[in-house]
Amino acid sequence: MPGSIFPAERLAFVLAAWLVAGTALARDWLPLAKDGVHDPKSPAVRQLQEPRDALSVLPADTTGNMVRWVEALEKGAIEPRASIRPGTKVQILDQDILMSLKGGMPIVRFPHRQHTLWLDCSNCHEQLFKSQTGANKLSMFQILQGEQCGVCHGAVAFPLTECNRCHSVPRPNGRALSPAAPLPPHAKTGAK
Ligand code: HEC
Ligand code: HEC
Ligand code: HEC
């Protein structure tokens, strides 16, 4: 056939099919027998709940393991046990820290509340982060190396490709803040 080997309609069709397939694929989970972790020959594999059965009913995400875990917790879709030891006190801290105040990216809002719903203070303090505003020198480079926030994000919490989930606060006029006084490295705020 003379002319284009890739007519516009065909391209549109291929793109649409790819998008549909991509979306379907996005909310699917490998069966346990194929996940490379479980022994497919073990009879126990058939006794275990498949990730698809457990996770498909939870609030959807488009990345990571496809579940919006914070939403799942806040909506009561899951009710994780605080500890295997009875009487463990859960301590929630409702306070945000604003970071990356100088750069060109939107400001980073670190929410204590959402973290302390899952974690104990000692998971972060004082080894990973000092509990003093601005006392930690954080950098995207180190985070991408799996340090600082990257100890969890990209491992057990949403991946680092989701820039705007951390860089979530727009700068005034879209520009870096430039007050007369020098900016502190980080700023403490109350509850969101
Ligand atoms: C898990 C949270 C998180 C995610 C996801 C994230 N960042 Fe960051 N980013 C930070 C933190 C924390 C800082 C350092 C803030 C500070 O202390 O001033 C930072 C700093 C930066 C800086 C400032 C320069 C530097 O190295 O400190 C840039 C640029 C940046 N991030 C770009 C990105 C881009 C692009 C993405 C997505 C590909 C991204 N970030 C994803 C948390 C995150
Ligand atoms: C997921 C990690 C994480 C967890 C869990 C966590 N924090 Fe933090 N905390 C941070 C980070 C990051 C900062 C910011 C430090 C900075 O600005 O350099 C911070 C800052 C602080 C500060 C300094 C704020 C101020 O008033 O100057 C205090 C106090 C604090 N945390 C207490 C706690 C307590 C109490 C808990 C448990 C209820 C807790 N944190 C749980 C990461 C965490
Ligand atoms: C000890 C593990 C850990 C560290 C360290 C950690 N996070 Fe998280 N973070 C989590 C978990 C777990 C969640 C909830 C699950 C999810 O959203 O994937 C979460 C959720 C979040 C959320 C989403 C809150 C929401 O409302 O959806 C933001 C934003 C965030 N983290 C930013 C950061 C930044 C910025 C840092 C570094 C300063 C950081 N985290 C360090 C474990 C951690």
Extents of the domains making up the chain: 1-51, 96-189
Q: What is the pLDDT of residues 162-184, one digit of tens each?
A: 999 999 999 876 555 555 566 77
pLDDT confidence of residue 182 = 66
10: confidence class by pLDDT, cuts 50, 70, 90: low
Is residue 157 in contact with ligand 1, taking CB distance under 6 Å? no
pLDDT confidence of residue 24 = 45
Distance CA 94, CA 115 (A): 10
pLDDT confidence of residue 183 = 73
Mean pLDDT (the chain) is 85
Residue with the bigger pLDDT between 17 and 148: it is 148
pLDDT > 50? residue 71: yes
Distance CA 188, CA 32 (A): 44
What percent of the chain is modeled with pLDDT above 70? 80
What's the whole-number mean pLDDT along residues 94-121? 93
pLDDT confidence of residue 90 = 86
Q: What is the pLDDT of residues 16-45, one digit of tens each?
A: 554 444 444 458 899 999 999 999 999 999
Place of tokens 């709940």: 49
Please state the pTM of the whole predicted model. 0.88
Mutate to test the pocket of ligand 1, among 114, 138, 140 (most ligand atoms within 8 A of CB): 140
DSSP labels, 110-155: EEHHHHHHHS-HHHHTTTTS-SSTT-S---HHHHHTT-GGGGTBTT
CB 45 within 8 Å of CB 33:
yes
- Read off the amino acid at residue 91: Q
pLDDT confidence of residue 73 = 95
Is residue 163 in contact with ligand 1, taking CB distance under 6 Å? yes
Q: Quote the ligand 2 centre to 132 CA distance (angstroms).
A: 7
CB 50 within 8 Å of CB 32:
yes
Q: By 3-state DSSP, what share of the chain in percent is helix, strand and coil, each rounded to 5?
A: 35, 10, 60
CATH code at 96-189: 3.90.10.10
CB 161 within 8 Å of CB 63:
yes
Place of tokens 């409702």: 94
Atom index in ligand 2 nearest the CA of residue 99 equals 17
pLDDT confidence of residue 119 = 93
- Please name the residues in contact with 142: beta carbons below 8 A apart, sequence gap of 6 or more: 148, 150
Q: Quote the ligand 1 centre to 113 CA distance (angstroms).
A: 20
What does residue 110 show for φ and ψ, rounded to 5 degrees? -95, 110
Most confident by average pLDDT, 15-29, 100-114, 177-191: 100-114
